[in-house]
Amino acid sequence: MINELNDINIATVHNPAEIAAHTTLSAASKASILIEALPYIQKFAGKTMVIKYGGNAMISEELKNKVMQDIALMKCIGIRPVLVHGGGPDITDFLEKIGKTSTFVSGLRVTDAETVTIAQMVLGGKINAEIVSRLNSLGIPAIGLTGKDANLLKAHKKLAEIHEANGQTNHVDIGFVGEVTAVNTQLINDLLDNGYVPVISPIGAGKGETTYNINADYVAAEVAGALGAEKLLMLTNTKGIYTSLDDPKSFLSSIPQAEATIMIENGTIQGGMIPKVEAVLHALQCGTKRVSIIDGREPHALLLELFTNKGIGTEII
């Protein structure tokens, strides 16, 4: 039999480079790779997994496609995937386009009413739509959501913390920056039960019609926790956690929750990794079963983490 696939856009599935890479494999090798995935397929069937999909896995068309293929495969074999995406750089770009410069306090963007509207438009009206569109092209029915849809993410204002030289901590109002107070898991489960993949923008619904921009890592953590997800998979721009950043051999494929806390306190985990690990710890406290930090720059990182014996990232349990 020569298989025909009329209704799916095969071009988006296989680019020539990819095909060239593996056509030399024997039929037996192909089959045995499929069979290697079998026990994982069985193990994960029916489980909810939240994927945090951020800037680093969005850097090229090819990488975007591979992430979407991975999610499509997860969905097809019975996993219930939920996407949370970020998009800080695109917001900055768009603000510049309308001649608006952002200032930051303790790493958080000062967000006036116009800025939060732009954030909502970029996240919910552009990046989200693009992800939904790519999944649809692969035959996966995806639904874009912001936190406003059926109050998916109720939120209130989050103050920035400024650590003064004298050791005091001041809290500063930086506008429409929020944190999640409640997640409408009913909505997510209704969509999953009906076969859709929810794609969530990190926009929160405040009182009345107030809009909040929220850190996407934390949204993913809250969503995973509220759903009691089997896994939170965070696509980042590092391979995972190292005991010594200079030494690739110090990579940790698994650490317990308690140890991660210690590594933050003693400075082993540093810089931009700190808020990520804090979000991870938060997700575990909220009810997520396991969290993996994966290198989003690696092609098919999700598949390799889930369906091969060795995995590729750091799992925190």
Sites for a second copy among residues 73-92 (CB under 8 A):
73, 76-78
Which one among 48, 111, 115, 120 touches a second copy, defined by CB under 8 A? Answer: 120
Candidates 156-164, 173-181, 278-286, 290-298; binding stretch for a second copy (CB under 8 A): 290-298
The answer on whether 80 is annotated among ligand-binding residues is no
> Which is nearer to a second copy, 105 or 289 (by Cβ)?
289
Residue 148 CB, nearest approach to a second copy (Å): 5
88 is known to lie in a ligand binding site = yes
Q: Which is nearer to a second copy, 245 or 251 (CB)?
A: 251
The nearer residue to a second copy, 160 or 315, going by C-beta atoms, is 315
Q: Residue 316 CB, nearest distance to a second copy (Å)?
A: 10
CB of 39 to a second copy, least distance (A): 5
DSSP 210-253: -EEE--HHHHHHHHHHHHT-SEEEEEESSSSEESSTT-GGGEES
Q: Which of 59, 113, 121, 274 binds a second copy (CB under 8 A)?
A: 121
* Token pair for 41: 């397929």
Hey, which residues between 258 and 287 contact a second copy (CB under 8 A)? none
Which tokens hold the place of 42? 């069985």
Dist CA 111 CA 118 (whole Å): 10
Residues from 12 through 41 that contact a second copy (CB under 8 A): 12-14, 18, 21-22, 25, 27-41
CA-closest candidate to residue 285, choices 259, 252, 258, 253: 258
* Residues 228 to 257 in contact with a second copy, rule: CB under 8 A: 253-254
Provide, rounded to whole angstroms, the least separation between the CB of residue 70 and a second copy.
Answer: 8
* List 142, 153, 216, 283, residue binding a second copy (CB under 8 A): 142
Contact call for residue 110 and a second copy (CB under 8 A): no
Site residues for a second copy, 149-208, by CB under 8 A, read: 149-151, 187, 190, 194, 196, 203, 205, 208
Rounded to whole angstroms, the Cα distance separating 279 from 215 reads 10
217 contacts a second copy (rule: CB under 8 A)? no
Separation CA 302–CA 192 (nearest Å): 19
Is 5 among the residues that bind a second copy (CB under 8 A)?
Answer: yes
Q: What is the per-residue burial (b if ≥16 Cβ within 10 Å, else e) of 64-77? A: bbbbbbbbbbbbeb
- What is the Cα–Cα distance from 62 to 12, expressed in whole angstroms? 10
- From candidates 81, 86, 88, 124, binder to a second copy by CB under 8 A: 124
Strands (DSSP E) contained in the chain are 48-53, 80-85, 104-105, 108-109, 142-146, 153-157, 160-163, 169-172, 178-183, 197-201, 203-205, 211-213, 231-236, 241-242, 251-252, 254-255, 290-295, 314-316
Residue closer to a second copy by CB (options 148, 276) is: 148
Distance CA 80, CA 250 (A): 33
Q: Which residue has the tokens 């000062």?
A: 110
List residues forming the annotated binding site for substrate. 87-88, 109, 213
